[in-house]
Structure 1
Amino acid sequence: MRKSTTLALAFAALAGAVGTTAYAENNASARMREGMMARLDKAMSDSDGAITFDQFSDAMDARLRKLVADNGGKLTVAQLADALEKARFERMARRIIARYDTKGDGTLTSDDITGREKKIFAMLDKNNDGKIEKSELPKGGRFGHHRQSDDEGDMQ
């Protein structure tokens, strides 16, 4: 392959990676702004449409202030990263439990997992012969995007 073609492909790959990262960061920023606006709207509705600085401050970063207080008044990058990672994984765990938990008790059992697997298997076994053939699998191999509700396709 010519050097110019190799450089062009490398540049295209780098641009794609940067674009994907920028998109993810913009998406996360948008979610943060939406959360902030929701907290402000709630604070204002709780206070007849106007809030003081103290109410504003409480609505904005109560969790962050608590993290700082819980860590002796200073928060390092590592401590904040650990807290953010823990919060992210707890959200993921809650979603998984909610999808699988058949009794609604907030726990996950082997029976819950088996029940969900049976439900997905039955949905994929389009001709009800007790087997899943390749032709019955969703196009592109992606669950959740082919005749399934959102609830049934997120665990891939």
Structure 2
Amino acid sequence: MKKSTKLAFTFVTLASLVGTAAYAEQDKGGDMRDGSRWRLQKAVRDSDGGINFDQFSEAMNPQLKKILADNGGKVTVEQLAAALEKARFERMAKRMIERYDSKGEGVLTQEDVTAHQKKMFALLDKNNDGKIGKNELPKRGDRHHRQSEVE
């Protein structure tokens, strides 16, 4: 079997596994977390009514395609896990800096963290006595609502 055929087969297999996991997640009431369904729908909308295999392949999972390209077309479990973990933590770090960076400098300082914590404390200290009492703690499920008020 030619190297390009093996690579295409490997990619389709990996994409199918990712798609199967996403479909299973969707069946549990979730949605496709990797965004491939959205990218596929966008590709079809942007086309003249249909997409060919190359367009389909491009839309499915560009992150996986990049990881494979960065590793010479083959990736081990360890390499894939490390790349996915790195990308996940980079997204988390970016969101944290966006949330805390009060000056919009793209960096996180102790000053930013303290200012954010003071805002959160003030929101929780409903009676303004300088303490957070048990009755002022957020109820289960309130966390997301309170955090969005702070931001």
Query: TM (normalized to structure 1)?
Result: 0.67
Unpaired runs of 5+ residues, structure 1, are: 1-24
Query: How far off its partner does 1:32 sit?
Result: 3.3
Verify the 8 A CA contact 2:102 2:112 in the aligned structure 1: yes
Structure-2 residue corresponding to 1:13? none
**TM-score, normalised via structure 2 length:** 0.69
C-alpha distance in 2 between matches for 1:89 and 1:34? 15
- 1:104–1:49: structure 2 CA closer, same or farther, 3 Å change rule? farther
**Percentage identity across paired residues of the two chains:** 59
C-alpha displacement of 1:152: 4.2
Offset at residue 45 of structure 1 (A): 2.4
Relative to structure 1, the CA distance from residue 88 to residue 72 in structure 2 (aligned partners, 3 Å threshold; closer, same or farther) is same
Larger CA Rg, structure 1 vs 2: 1
Which ranges of 4 or more aligned residues in structure 1 deviate by more than 3 Å?
29-34, 149-153
Higher relative contact order (CA 8 A, sep 6+): 2
Indicate the residue corresponding to 2:64 in structure 1. Answer: 64
Aligned-partner SS, 2:97: helix
Partner in structure 2 of residue 150 of structure 1: 148
What corresponds to 2:20 in structure 1? none
1:51 Cα deviation (Å)?
A: 1.2
Kept in 1: contact 2:98–2:106 (CA 8 A):
yes
Cα offset, 1:50, TM superposition: 1.7
What is the deviation of 1:57?
A: 0.9
Alignment: residue pair count:
126
Q: What is the alpha-carbon distance in structure 1 between the residues aligned to residue 55 and residue 89 of structure 2?
A: 29
Asked whether the equivalents of residues 68 and 75 of structure 2 are also in contact (C-alpha less than 8 Å), the reply is: yes
How is 1:69-88 mapped onto 2 (pairs within 5 angstroms)? 69-88=69-88
CA distances 1:66-118 after superposition (whole Å, capped 9, x unpaired): 21121122111110010111111112212222221212232211111011111
Q: 3-state DSSP class of the match of 1:148?
A: helix
* 1:36–1:118 distance in 2 versus 1, CA, 3 Å: same
Structure-1 residue corresponding to 2:3:
none
Where does structure 2 lack aligned partners over 5 or more consecutive residues?
1-23
1:123-143 deviation per Cα after TM superposition (whole angstroms, max 9, x unaligned): 111111222223322245x76
In the TM superposition, 1:1-156 aligns within 5 A as: 26=25, 30-32=30-32, 35-139=35-139, 144=143, 148-150=146-148, 152=150
Matches of 2:56 and 2:106 in 1, distance apart? 34
